[in-house]
Amino acid sequence: MSEAGLPRRRLGRSTLEVNAIGMGCAPVGELFARVDDVAAQGTLQAAWDGGIRYFDTAPEYGFGLSERRVGQFLRQRPHSEFILSTKVGRLLHAPRDVAKYRKTFWTGGLEFDFRFDYGYDAIMRSVEDSYQRLGLNRVDMLLIHDLDLFTHGSQLQVNAHLHQLLTGGWRALSELRASGVIRAIGAGLNDAGTVLPLLEATDLDFILLAMRYTLLEHDTLDVELPRCAERGVGLVVGGVFNSGITATGAVSGAYYNYAPATAEIMQRVGRIEAICRRHNVDLPAAALQFPLGHPSVAAVIPGALSAKQVEQNLAHFRQPIPAEFWAELKAEKLLRWDVPTPA
């Protein structure tokens, strides 16, 4: 057991052990809502006070704002006491036309633009840029960020960036790991399409898979997760609430995968909620704990907008869930019969 009773798990083939619940730091980069500096630091402090020592950020999160805030918090603490991951694949730069600059997707964040680049020089520059934003001289893990159809929009673009990675960027990552600068290489993906090509072409330690292995989605059990297990590649699961609906429930305005939930999804979540009530289980607790039943999953990393949300996540993580609850979900065909569930 680790701080505050939070268990640790080995991350794939790496030497790292991470909290089974970590902290996803996109929200402190103002993904869905603006957060002032005091509130952001309070959110990170609540995670620390709750025993969380695994923090995940990225240059993309608030166009540098998340890294700045996470670094401001962590650099006041010995690095031996925490594990930090950030990402590569986007290089931030000043807008070329400030008057016409408009953010896309992010609610807030800093006034920077970016370009995708998975080449050797870009990876090395990205790491140094992250050090400067964080105010730290090292990180523990680097992830290849968003090399997927969800982000790039066409298979042609995915293939072009994958080629750039394999002919340049991967060498940079391998050199950093071999020299001990970083301790693990991962890939952060929003869909499963590039899991197999990356597993075949590289020597990844782990994959951070967002929204594709959750209480509502288990198709990756067919091929991708078994292949990860065969290769000894660990898994971290992000987006455990599928961008909202298993945190809020089937309420008006609920979101599923960054879009308004369809009637079909609302109905399915409503059926799960009914089973939750029968077993006195909170829906967010079931969603948070579900991925941890898979033996390859080392951690889940929910985000939080406030200290209160961090405390709620930790309470959901610790809530006892009876085996009968998971059995009824399978009996009602709301979970696959072969899905591994938490003990």
Q: How far is 341 from 213, CA to CA, in rounded Å? A: 12
Beta-bridge mates of residue 114: 92
Start-to-end C-alpha separation, the chain: 17
Judge whether 213 counts as a catalytic residue. no
Q: Which of 87, 118, 120, 191 is catalytic?
A: 87
Of 53, 68, 57, 39, nearest to 1 by C-alpha is 53
Q: How far is CA 121 from CA 88, 91, 118, 174, 313, in A?
A: 11, 11, 9, 13, 39
Judge whether 308 counts as a catalytic residue. no
Judge whether 61 counts as a catalytic residue. yes
Q: Which of 54, 56, 140, 146 is catalytic?
A: 56
DSSP 111-178: S-EEEE--SHHHHHHHHHHHHHHHT-S--SEEEEE--SHHHHSSHHHHHHHHHHIIIIIHHHHHHHHH
Q: How far is 220 from 214, CA to CA, in rounded Å? A: 10
Q: Which of 54, 61, 118, 120 is catalytic?
A: 61
Q: How far is CA 204 from CA 210, 233, 307, in A?
A: 17, 7, 33
For the annotated catalytic residues, the residue numbers are 56, 61, 87
